[in-house]
Amino acid sequence: MVRDSMNPVTALRRIGNGQRRSQRLPLQVPVCVYGRAADNNLFRETTNTLSVNAHGGLLALTASVNRDQAIFVLNITAQEARACRVVYIGQEQDGKREVGIEFLRVAPHFWEVDFPPANPH
């Protein structure tokens, strides 16, 4: 089990008191990810998200990317793309790595989900 503090999406940014900015949901959304790989070659890869939140998501990529790198993510269902930043790179497993992404601009409806507030109190 992954500890919360080490999880890419949940550990992205926390509100001053340690609360998440938005709740994450385990949701598989078909996406196309494109940009430049760590070797500076262009890549394009179709995959699914592992989990999403109002500020980004977690997906598995075969392409090698670097932390803080800019990439583009296309929500295939919604036919909408967003510029993102890589915020987490997990260990390789079965030729893929978990990659946490954060939207460069707020996109609360990108995943076509209404997210409940992180802290409803």
CA distance 6 to 22: 17
* Residue 3 maps to a domain: no
Please tell me the distance from the alpha carbon of residue 76 to that of residue 96, in angstroms, as a whole number: 20
Identify residue 36 by its one-letter amino acid code.
R
Residue 110 lies in a domain: no
DSSP conformation class of 79:
T
Can you give the pLDDT at residue 64? 95
Q: Supply the pLDDT for residue 51.
A: 96
pLDDT mean for each 10 residues of the chain (121 residues): 38 48 88 95 98 95 96 98 97 95 93 77 57
Whether 74 maps to a domain, the answer reads yes
**Residue 75 is part of which domain span?**
22-103
Number of domains present in the structure of the chain: 1
| Pair type for strands 56-61 and 42-53 | antiparallel
How far is Cα of residue 110 from the mean position of the Cα atoms in its chain?
12
